[in-house]
């Protein structure tokens, strides 16, 4: 059974209100680049260059910023290996994997319905 937004707010009355940390987390997780980076990492561990190619259109600056934010949020793990040139790998943390189990159905829905929605707006 699906939980309603009203039920969520009833359980935690201040949730998603102005100044609540849930809005910050929602912004990080649901931003265009956040969704695409997390979705890419749901396929497994990736290096910087792999992520840059996978997340088509993201700039180096935005990828760095997004990865830093998602790492600070505890959703992405960054592992640096002592090598020349530098070797860094990114993967989802257990919290990130839990999130993506819930978010991938939404990503699939968007992929399945975007065409129809865009046609309606023409």
Which residue segments constitute the domains of the chain, with CATH numbers given? 20-113 (1.10.10.10)
Which whole number is the average pLDDT over 92-110? Answer: 95
Mean pLDDT score across all residues of the chain: 92
Distance CA 8, CA 3 (A): 7
Rounded to two decimals, the pTM is 0.88
Whole-number pLDDT of residue 116: 87
Alpha helices in the chain (DSSP H): 5-11, 21-30, 32-41, 48-54, 60-72, 94-120
Whole-number pLDDT of residue 57: 96
| Pairwise pLDDT comparison (42 vs 116), residue with the higher score | 42
Candidate from 10-14, 22-26, 31-35, 43-47 with smallest mean pLDDT? 10-14
Whole-number pLDDT of residue 15: 85
């Amino acid at each position: 059974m699906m939980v309603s937004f009203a039920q969520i707010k009833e359980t935690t009355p201040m949730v998603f209100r102005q100044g609540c940390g849930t809005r910050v987390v929602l912004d990080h997780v649901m931003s265009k680049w956040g969704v695409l980076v997390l979705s890419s990492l749901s396929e497994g561990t990736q290096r910087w260059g792999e992520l840059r190619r996978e997340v088509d259109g993201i700039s180096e600056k935005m990828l760095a910023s997004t990865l830093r934010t998602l790492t600070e949020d505890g959703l992405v793990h960054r592992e640096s290996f002592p090598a020349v040139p530098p070797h860094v790998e990114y993967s989802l943390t257990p919290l990130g994997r839990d999130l993506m189990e819930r978010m991938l159905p939404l990503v699939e829905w968007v992929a399945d319905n975007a065409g129809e929605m865009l046609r309606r707006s023409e």
